Amino acid sequence: MHKLPESAGQEIGRLDFRTSPDGYRHWSISFAGPVARLVMAVDENSPAGSGYELKLNSYDIGVDIELYDAVQRLRFEHPEVRTVIISSGIQGMFCAGANIRMLGTSSHSHKVNFCKFTNETRNSIEDASHHSGQTYVAALNGTAAGGGYELALATEYLMLIDDGNAAVSLPEVPMLAVLPGTGGLTRVVDKRKVRRDLADVFCTLEEGMKGKRAVDWRLVDEIVPRSNFDERVTEKALGLAALSDRPEGEAGITLDRLERSEDENEIRYPFITVSLDHDGRSATLDIEAPDSDAPADVNEIKKQGVNFWPLAVVRAMDDALLHLRFNEPTLGTLIIKTSGDSSRVAAYDALLDANRDDWFVREILLYMQRAYKRLDVTSRTTFAFVEQGSCFVGMLADLLFAVDRSYMLDGQLDDRPAATIQLGELSFGTLRMSNGLTRLETRFLDDAESLDNVHELVGRDLDALESLEAGLITYAPDDMDWQDEIRLLLEERASFSPDALTGMEANLRFAGPETLETKIFGRLSAWQNWIFQRPNAAGSEGALKLYGTGKRAKFDRGRV
């Protein structure tokens, strides 16, 4: 297996994001009618890496992989669940946040990717609350510190036990010389609407806040005496459940373990193959069209379950992006290709669009949106190559507007028909970026005429020159130049600084309005990335390294 590069810190081993409740070490799920309880009781002796223990319900990437899986399963497997309560199985401690020893000893790249994945998981919780009718409640039956409070902030209602001890805090600045890494600062002021001056006080207090002041400052929604805490949490959960549009009497879809096989040069899923070119520092993700016709109706969709082609594709794509992010960090260019019967893709796309109000189809489309967002924030150059035999149609055509550049062959290299693309309605309102816009709205920002013009092209097979004229692709090399153009493109990209490319790409991808999500990824992730490398935090005499030793960190006092 390809060796990961040496780094200044400890690398977590190769990660597998496939898990299920029977393999959880840190979480458990229980059900009572429309309410599910997701209980965090971290096994301190089961970290994802070595050299640290997960004490006080602190977490690492392994804990969050389970949480992400649980959120997915609750959405797909339990349509009857309308409210999810997150609580702790450890008396007096909800969650102490990201494990400090892990942060102090792991490599820089792992810390950044860990924070990014944790952000995405928190966003998926909010997505479930806002769009799936599955509202999350934080039952803080003990102190929530740092990332523990950030997890609570991702829910829609925070209930803090009023026992004289339990508090909420974001102590990273005074204690560790870093920032809350999973959206805490942004959610405090943007989501909780905490006044800026009060937020400044809160974020510089190691001990945090509790009791009535936590409610008055909007840090939590409610404090509840220990004597009736469980009763009040259940009452609130049932009240929120009554507001949901989740279906009654419907069976869920089991998320069977995702099929995947791999060797040093290839990762294979149903309908997706990822080819790894370590010498060229690139990976090619090839999505295959369905091998059968689209089901007749929504009932047939549900019978197919995880084998329904759009769901199978999005599950594989999601896993592949995570696998590449954590396990293949030197493959800096991601190429997306498609292959197969375009008419079948169009039929599946129309089926999704026609049944978007069904709960299961809605979940597939929301999952697709989340997976495409993961592509948007990936720290890799992304290209799409539209070749003969490709099927960039509908939901797959939207990938052309997610990548940094797209190249479409004008002409034929063999006797197969020339390449075409076809737009679908999902690209005009359903599949949105973190900025709240569709990718086409972002592409044609404040250009309503161009957007209207391309909307009129829905359902048409567009050749390379038509696609280029409509602004749907970047370049259309002809058959004489295609191979040389692509070779030079990949060689040039591989020669640039990965750091400079990451900064450039992230700046260019998110035109348009700023939202909670774009602030978290665009601002917080960038600054957290930088701060994690500063000696004040990560140096030999920095706060992360000296935490728990009794020694004070030595800071470079210069403001830069």
Express each pLDDT in 450-500 by its tens digit.
Answer: 999 999 999 999 999 999 999 999 999 999 999 999 999 999 999 999 999
Using pLDDT thresholds of 50, 70 and 90, give the confidence band for residue 6.
very low
Judgement on whether residues 267 and 372 belong to the same structural domain of the protein: yes
Judgement on whether residues 237 and 266 belong to the same structural domain of the protein: no
CB-CB contact of 391 with 289 (8 Å): yes
Domain boundary among 504, 526, 542: 504
Among candidate residues 32, 76, 434, the one with its CA nearest the CA of residue 250: 76
Counted domains in the chain: 2
Distance in angstroms between the alpha carbons of the first and the last residue of the chain: 41
Both tokens assigned to 520: 């978290």
Asked whether residue 96 carries a pLDDT value surpassing 90, the answer given is yes
% of residues, the chain, pLDDT over 90: 89
Judgement on whether residues 147 and 48 belong to the same structural domain of the protein: yes
Residue 521 placed within a domain:
no
Residue 394 placed within a domain:
yes
pLDDT digits (tens, 9 = 90+) for 180-198: 888 999 999 999 999 999 9
Residue 515 placed within a domain:
no
CB-CB contact of 381 with 393 (8 Å): no
H or E element that contains 274: strand 272-277
Quote the domain boundaries for residue 160. Answer: 21-241
Judgement on whether residues 185 and 69 belong to the same structural domain of the protein: yes
Asked whether residue 7 carries a pLDDT value surpassing 80, the answer given is no
Burial class, 517, CB count within 10 angstroms (exposed 0-12 / middle 13-18 / buried 19+) = buried
Determine the Cα–Cα distance for residues 185 and 170; give it in Å rounded to an integer.
8
Three-state DSSP at 446 gives coil
Exposed e or buried b for every residue in 170-199, given b needs 16+ CB within 10 A? bbbbebbbbbbbbbbbbbbbeebebeeebb
CATH of the domain at 363: 3.90.226.10
CB-CB contact of 254 with 305 (8 Å): yes
Using pLDDT thresholds of 50, 70 and 90, give the confidence band for residue 65.
very high
Strand 142-145 to 135-140 pairing: unpaired
Judgement on whether residues 431 and 294 belong to the same structural domain of the protein: yes
Judgement on whether residues 274 and 230 belong to the same structural domain of the protein: no
Asked whether residue 241 carries a pLDDT value surpassing 70, the answer given is yes
Among candidate residues 380, 366, 402, 434, the one with its CA nearest the CA of residue 287: 402
Domain boundary among 468, 489, 504: 504
Instruction: Say what the pLDDT of residue 11 is.
Output: 64
Tell me the average pLDDT across 145-153: 97
Residue 513 placed within a domain:
no
Asked whether residue 2 carries a pLDDT value surpassing 80, the answer given is no
Instruction: Say what the pLDDT of residue 525 is.
Output: 74
The strands making up 157-162's β-sheet, listed across from edge to edge, are: 27-32, 35-40, 83-88, 135-140, 157-162, 222-225
Tell me the average pLDDT across 387-411: 98
Exposed e or buried b for every residue in 250-276, given b needs 16+ CB within 10 A? eebbebeeeebeeeeeebebbbbbbeb
Tell me the average pLDDT across 227-252: 97
Instruction: Say what the pLDDT of residue 533 is.
Output: 87
Residue 2 placed within a domain:
no
Among candidate residues 360, 382, 367, the one with its CA nearest the CA of residue 120: 367
Instruction: Say what the pLDDT of residue 4 is.
Output: 39
Residue 371 placed within a domain:
yes
Judgement on whether residues 47 and 162 belong to the same structural domain of the protein: yes
Judgement on whether residues 492 and 357 belong to the same structural domain of the protein: yes
Asked whether residue 278 carries a pLDDT value surpassing 50, the answer given is yes
Tell me the average pLDDT across 265-284: 97
Instruction: Say what the pLDDT of residue 10 is.
Output: 63
Residue 542 placed within a domain:
no
Residue 58 placed within a domain:
yes
Judgement on whether residues 305 and 274 belong to the same structural domain of the protein: yes
Tell me the average pLDDT across 286-298: 96
Among candidate residues 171, 111, 63, 27, the one with its CA nearest the CA of residue 533: 111
Domain boundary among 485, 504, 523: 504
Judgement on whether residues 178 and 265 belong to the same structural domain of the protein: no
Judgement on whether residues 225 and 357 belong to the same structural domain of the protein: no
Name the average pLDDT for the chain.
95
Instruction: Say what the pLDDT of residue 526 is.
Output: 76
Judgement on whether residues 274 and 209 belong to the same structural domain of the protein: no
Determine the Cα–Cα distance for residues 27 and 21; give it in Å rounded to an integer.
8
Using pLDDT thresholds of 50, 70 and 90, give the confidence band for residue 5.
very low
Beta bridge partners of 422: 393
CB-CB contact of 526 with 167 (8 Å): no
H or E element that contains 283: strand 282-288
Asked whether residue 331 carries a pLDDT value surpassing 70, the answer given is yes
Q: Which residues contact 329 (CB under 8 A, 6 or more apart)?
A: 4, 5, 109
Determine the Cα–Cα distance for residues 167 and 210; give it in Å rounded to an integer.
4
Asked whether residue 37 carries a pLDDT value surpassing 60, the answer given is yes
